[in-house]
Structure 1
Amino acid sequence: MTGEITPGVAIRLNKVTKTYGSGNGVVAAVKSTTLDILKNEFFTLLGPSGCGKTTLLRLIGGFEYPTTGTILLDGQDIASVPPFRRPINTVFQNYALFPHMTVAENIGFGLRMLKRPRDQIAARVEEMLKLVRLEHLSGRRTGQISGGQQQRVALARALASEPKVLLLDESLSALDYKLRKEMQMELKSLQAATGITFIFVTHDQEEALTMSDRVAVLSSGEIMQVGTPHEVYNRPANRFVANFVGETNFFLGRGLGWDGGGSMIDLQGIGAVAIPTDEAIPAGASVSIVVRPEHLRIFPLSHGSDGQLKGCVRTISFCGPETQYTVELSNGSGLVLVRRYNTPDENPSIAIGDEVSVKFTPNTAQVLPG
């Protein structure tokens, strides 16, 4: 089946579902998902375990077939095409390298399976070795190189046949923290250098925000929001996205009506606050006010408390470039997390047990239903 080829779209999912079991035991892993992934895009499927992100990746790769719906690659329906006939390659979590082969032999394996001429294989392997900066290790066996180097070999092997789309299934999770951070930059650079569409699966929010052009946040088999990292973090579409992507604070409020460029909200513990909103919040409507920890300011109570939340510091965590405080609010609404960057010009003397006031500016807050 052929669909309309939309300029700039690499992968189009149209009402794709995937269910397992039968009768009363049917489980929907992916629910009626419609999504466009663009050419030359680093796109990430982000969500907790069991949300359907890996199933979605496997559907794109051909390792699973959809129960209903279509999957288009450049306008061609590939939903029933087997994986080896799709111009799509996958880098798995365990890399799946051949330990008895050298680095160069691993990179050239797929090309040999495609029966490419020997001289073309040699030239392409050399090109890939340069791309991932492993020329000096070409003759070494993969069991004799580090985890980060094995990751590069797996990437080079997947890229060697010039796929239209590269799938990466939690492919950084086996690396230690520092190496994982380095490989995030490596992956983004490789994607930009090759111009290939990368589709990356992870449950790590920081990883998704760092590397992606756009992110799809999933929950229970459904896409909650698709947007740039900036949009997903700063303008979450709902409470799930706000709570899952990064850390956040929720304050309960009640709508008081429209006030020019925003809505008046009766905020528990503070009173009436005007918060910028696209649409008026109806009077009496229950809402949640979302404020990221870095958008809260903390002061010793002696510095004044007009328009601020009062509370007691319960924990202080020094995290290098920042210090995090948990504050138990005096109004009984629970704990808030405050993140303060450690700069020389901002170093309030605050200790565990101190009475403090916490404040935010209205333009850093977002209003969500419920």
Structure 2
Amino acid sequence: MEYATLGRSGLQVSQVCLGAMNFGSSRIATCDEAEATRIVDAYLEAGGNIIDIANMYSEGESEEIVGRIVKNRRSSVLLATKGFMPQGPGPNDRGLSRVHLTKALDDSLRRLGTDYVDLYQCHQWDPATPIEETMATLDGFVRAGKVRYIGCSNFTAAQIVEAQWAAARIGGTPFVSLQPQYSLIARSIEADILPTAQRHGLGAILWSPLGGGVLSGRYSSVSELPEGSRMSQLRGSHIQLAKAWVDGLLNERTLGIVQEVGKIAAELGTTAAAVSLSWLRRRPGVTSVIIGPRTLEHLRGSLTAFELELPAEIVERLDEISATGTLAPINGMDASR
């Protein structure tokens, strides 16, 4: 397992980050605690050291499961969780305000069974809260010892800059990490988000490196989706953003990329997923890549993929077939270009 420094900090994180979104019993989480324990054990034995969670995953159950699993080895595991998403019906039950983040962090600590988290991340930008309030609140968490480092997820380049400037103005703690979507079929962050993160001292921990499973080769049609698949569940969701995300990742353009990636995988005697992950982990500015296995077998296959080194000519082919028509600056969650 390789390790790298996370942004402008002294924290060493493994190149593979274990995502715990599938731990629990929600509609899209199908990994029970017994299987989650096997996955975490194997991941840590392989040298991984960071587990990514969020308070919204399985309505908090994911944090509870992870907390129980790592209870007796807490000091050797980096826990990264997030706050922002709705935790109740009230007007202050979501967002990046001091009121909500304070309660959200305390609830996460309780579920995780720990008195601190190593990395606390803003799950997304909050236009309703002054960024100075958010950064001051996060700095207070660090000074109180409840949080070691802070980061953000799905921020645009401008939002990253605003947050870092706000931290500097108040003499507070800056972000050291960004969690964006990035893959062979979602390269939009290369335009300005990733370069801005690098310039402002944020290391990138990537989510959806296989484009929601599209790059694994599981999907061969835009309209006919495997029953029970994540794309099928999200497309059938009442949440418009979820449907838009699926449409951005699963279309004729992306299926064409997947077909070419499959050809390259066949030439190399490996899988499309392995090729996709190997290409991604060597991209400039990338610190760690989140994988979200549902089974121990899935984890082992993903870990093997990180041992693959692609020849330079293959990297060039992948760059060419996945190039977007334009790298215009867009939102950090957009996967449509």
TM-score, normalised via structure 1 length: 0.30
- Which structure would you say has the larger RCO, counting Cα contacts within 8 Å and 6 or more residues apart? 2
Give the number of the structure whose residues are more often helix, by fraction.
Answer: 2
TM-score, normalised via structure 2 length: 0.32
